[in-house]
Structure 1
């Protein structure tokens, strides 16, 4: 049988917890992203953006650059390969290592989606002033 009355949690306010707040902001951002860019997940977009920015990378290095662990980056790259947006080739110096590159389709897609991605950032940050945006970004970078 459950407790039928609300109970106080002395010293704890869920609405003031950083993890809870970050999750709520992330959920809002993901919803905005999904509406603006339905063809990719945020993680897929991050991989395409990093490859556009840095050029071909080993799958391992790409994972580090996109802040994904080895299993996650493998799954994201596999899905992007199936979509024809990236290709992998064996590294000439180490055949066990795969190099991930954008396809022409992937490069065209990520380039075309940049305005929408920027609009998602703008919509996410819309409640903040320019100064607040800069402060938030700087503080989050310190925590990352």
Structure 2
């Protein structure tokens, strides 16, 4: 049976600080700190829904969740919280009464417009230590993951 000391001598040294997951977590923490400081009234998932609704105008709750990468239960919770804030509204689909269609309220349109501008600043601050070429390369590499 191999003990921990033997395993450590048989494999390359493991340095937590050099692992991709660790570095991604630190980068995400930095981004979330900037996001929370600059946009304290909503969460990143709420922002994603507002930004997507700004683009799509009216969309089924199910499709909305798929477009922002959330499961059905999470999407429902986010939509419910945004509805309570008066930023989104829902209505039954004209073609399928089982489907809810989600759209921004007038207040939601105004909020989303301002939030998208702030989000651009948040992204710029997050990658502020990188050159434009490095940012482009980072985004390409993240797409590959």
Is the shorter-chain TM-score for this pair beyond 0.5, marking a shared fold? yes
- 2:132 corresponds in structure 1 to 130
SS at match of 2:13: coil
Q: How far did residue 115 of structure 1 move?
A: 2.1
Gaps of 5+ in 2: 1-7
- 1:4 corresponds in structure 2 to none
Corresponding residue to 2:79 among 77, 80, 85? 77
TM-score w.r.t. length of structure 1: 0.90
Provide the aligned length of Structure 1 versus Structure 2. 136
Gaps of 5+ in 1: 1-7
Distance 2:65 2:85 in 1: 19
Corresponding residue to 2:38 among 16, 36, 39? 36
Matches within 5 A, 1:1-144: 10-143=12-145
Distance 1:92 1:113 in 2: 30
Q: How far did residue 10 of structure 1 move?
A: 4.9
Q: How far did residue 11 of structure 1 move?
A: 2.9
- 1:3 corresponds in structure 2 to none
- 2:4 corresponds in structure 1 to none
SS at match of 1:89: strand
SS at match of 2:28: helix
Distance 1:54 1:11 in 2: 49
Distance 1:87 1:54 in 2: 14
The structure with the largest alpha-carbon Rg is 2
